């Protein structure tokens, strides 16, 4: 062979591995990580359009037909156009990554934001929420909106999590007659079922941690004030925050990195830019060495499968060089249940009116308007449970009420400085650990949720961090009877880097995520 032909042949052979022809996205791609998808995009093996088409097809086949998980309220009519713009030239940490948003998060597009209520159906938000704007800046494809517990579960004490007047009940994809927990039920079920790469949920107390745990996901409830709440239908400005729900710690950290930061429209985020960072820097498999982690037995002993997950986690922590301090007590834990709901009710009455004032193209302006709407449409809105929490909130005074001022200050102090902070300081701890909720309970629209894990006197394992406004992270560590069981780590304000590092270390050994089987029910032998 002449030298010039030999040189050309060698050059072509070297180039071939990089000249990858795009292929159709497969089921495996529906469960691929953000990093894997971005690598496939860079090679030209996949395109954002192809992956977005895959998810839209799966939503049609799995969510709207087939097992009918009912996790997605609506898909974005502009999703494919957004994906097309990212093909081959997308920039940003989430370039071309399809993501679902809970239906209490405003998007300034053709999708609705309703909190699952018929009262807001037919109107769209005037602009993006702070979270949606940051996701777009990072290059994400906003794929659609997820179902939830109506009004994020602040309407009734007897509600069934994941039910809305707008769409009905979201199912747990692992076992379809089981609950996905609330209020971010749709976000959890959708990601677990492979209907999007990641999703955004929101939490006041447990609404990220519980659904992530019961659908086998990683969920991060950030420090209140790390992520903007502007344009998110509120419950309580003392406790509300949005956060990522994903199939891995790495994906959750990537999304948190994109959405964290200050927003002039949300005063609580004034210090966020000082703490927001690239959280993927803390994905160190050796990070557990030297960590001191306290086990909160006060939040255990309720459900045996959850306790078994705690024991497994303790063994994993010790095996990787962490010091486990058992039976750490959080002071004032039982006192936290006394006034948490009262704070929420005071703040909801005020905060929902402030939010509705920024939604000009719909008639609802106050909590009283919402109550009247539900009464007028009770067959559609209240066939299973009522609105007693709405009514209780309507009776509360304003935020200048001395009673409110006293209880909100007391809650923050007892949960934070005199609670979690005191427990951490006493034993020089980096974080605290407890079981997340146990395996998912059976759906029961007649009697409502059957929550069987977490200290019932404080409403669950999420309460201390939620009331304090401190961060927490849950991840799956085992399965029981075909259902995922998780563990939750929580710590001081702004301690997301530490919690992510700890969770990543546990995840590398637990390796617990499994694709759901969409079982109709558990077999009884």
Contacts of 518 (CB under 8 A, 6+ apart): 62, 66, 67, 69, 173, 174, 176, 193
- What value does the CA radius of gyration of the chain take, rounded to a whole number of Å? 23
Non-local CB neighbours of 364 within 8 Å, separated by 6+ positions: 119, 120, 356, 370, 373
Give the integer Cα–Cα distance in Å for 251 and 36. 10
- In 17-63, where does DSSP find H-type helix? 27-30, 34-43, 48-58
Distances in whole angstroms, Cα of residue 482 to Cα of each of 176, 366, 522 = 11, 44, 8
183, 187, 213, 248: the catalytic one is: 183
Which DSSP string corresponds to 331-371? Answer: TTTGGGGTTHHHHHHHHHHHHHHHHHTT-TTSS--SHHHHH
Contact 216, 486 (CB under 8 A): yes
What distance in Å separates the CA atoms of residue 100 and residue 140, rounded to the nearest whole number? 10
Contacts of residue 460, defined as CB under 8 A and 6 or more positions apart, other chains included, come to 205, 206, 210, 437, 451, 453, 454
- The Cα–Cα gap between 243 and 255 comes to 8
Residue 281 a catalytic site member: no
The Cα 522–Cα 441 span in angstroms is 11
Kindly state the tokens that stand for 99. 């993501």
Of the listed 149, 156, 202, 207, which one is catalytic? 207
Distances 54 to 26, 58, 136 between C-alpha atoms, Å: 7, 6, 20
Q: Cα-flanking dihedrals φ and ψ of residue 12, to 5°?
A: -65, -40
Cβ atoms of residues 438 and 444 within 8 Å: no
102 annotated active-site: yes
Q: Give the Cα separation of 353 and 322 in Å (integer).
A: 47
- DSSP label at 443? P
Catalytic residue, chosen from 38, 102, 145, 221, is 102
Tell me how far apart the alpha carbons of residues 144 and 503 are, in angstroms, rounded to a whole number: 28
**Residue 95 half-sphere exposure toward CB, CA atoms < 13 A:** 16
The torsion of the CA quartet 268, 272, 275, 276, rounded to 10 degrees, works out to: 130
Indicate if 183 belongs to the active site: yes
| Alpha carbon of residue 258 to chain centroid | 15
Q: Which residues are CB-neighbours of 84 under 8 A, at least 6 positions away?
A: 48, 49
Dump the DSSP string for 116-142: T-GGGTT-B-SS--HHHHHHHHTT-EE
> Which residues are marked as active site?
102, 183, 207
């Amino acid at each position: 062979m002449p030298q010039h032909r030999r040189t050309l042949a060698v050059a072509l052979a070297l180039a071939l591995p990089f000249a990858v022809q795009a292929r159709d996205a497969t089921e495996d791609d529906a469960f691929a990580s953000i990093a894997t998808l971005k690598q496939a995009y860079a090679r030209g093996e996949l395109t954002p359009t192809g992956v977005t088409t895959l998810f839209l097809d799966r939503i049609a086949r799995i969510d709207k037909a087939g097992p009918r998980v009912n996790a997605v309220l609506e898909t974005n009519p502009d999703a494919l156009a957004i994906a097309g713009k990212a093909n081959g030239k997308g920039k940003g940490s989430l370039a071309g990554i399809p993501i679902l948003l809970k239906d209490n998060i405003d998007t300034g597009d053709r999708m609705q934001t309703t909190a699952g209520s018929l009262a807001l159906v037919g109107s769209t938000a005037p602009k993006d929420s702070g979270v949606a704007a940051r996701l777009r800046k990072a290059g994400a494809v906003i794929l659609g909106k997820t179902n939830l517990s109506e009004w994020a579960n602040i309407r009734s004490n007897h509600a069934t999590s994941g039910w809305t007047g707008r769409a009905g009940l979201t199912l747990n994809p692992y076992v379809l007659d089981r609950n996905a927990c609330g209020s971010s039920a749709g976000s959890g079920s959708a990601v677990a079922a492979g209907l999007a790469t990641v999703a955004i949920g929101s939490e006041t107390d447990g609404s990220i941690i519980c659904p992530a745990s019961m659908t086998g996901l990683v969920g991060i409830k950030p420090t209140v004030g790390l992520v903007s709440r502007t344009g998110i239908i509120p419950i309580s400005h003392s406790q509300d925050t949005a956060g990522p729900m994903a199939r891995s710690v790495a994906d959750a950290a990537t999304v948190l990195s994109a959405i964290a930061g200050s927003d002039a429209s949300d005063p609580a985020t004034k210090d966020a830019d000082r703490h927001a960072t690239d959280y993927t820097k803390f994905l160190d498999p050796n990070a557990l060495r030297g960590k001191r982690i306290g086990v909160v037995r006060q939040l255990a002993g309720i459900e045996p499968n959850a306790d078994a997950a705690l024991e497994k986690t303790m063994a994993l922590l010790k095996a990787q060089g962490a010091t486990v301090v058992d039976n750490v007590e959080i002071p004032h834990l039982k006192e936290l249940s006394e006034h948490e709901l009262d704070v929420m009710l005071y703040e909801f009455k005020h905060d929902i009116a402030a939010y509705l004032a920024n939604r000009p193209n719909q008639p609802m302006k106050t909590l009283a308007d919402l109550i009247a709407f539900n009464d007028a449409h009770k067959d559609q809105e209240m066939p299973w449970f009522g609105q007693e929490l709405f009514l209780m909130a309507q009776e509360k005074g304003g935020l200048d009420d001395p009673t409110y001022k006293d209880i909100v200050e007391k809650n923050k102090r007892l949960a934070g400085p005199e609670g979690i902070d005191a427990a951490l300081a006493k034993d020089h701890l980096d974080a605290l650990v407890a079981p997340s909720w146990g395996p998912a309970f059976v759906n029961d629209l007649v009697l409502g949720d059957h929550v069987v894990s977490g200290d019932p006197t404080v409403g669950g394992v999420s309460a201390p961090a939620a009331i304090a406004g401190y961060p927490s992270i849950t991840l799956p560590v085992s399965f029981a009877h075909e259902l995922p069981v998780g563990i939750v780590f929580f710590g001081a304000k702004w301690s997301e880097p530490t919690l992510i590092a700890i969770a990543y270390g546990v995840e590398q050994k637990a390796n617990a995520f499994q694709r759901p089987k969409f079982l109709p029910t558990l077999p009884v032998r």
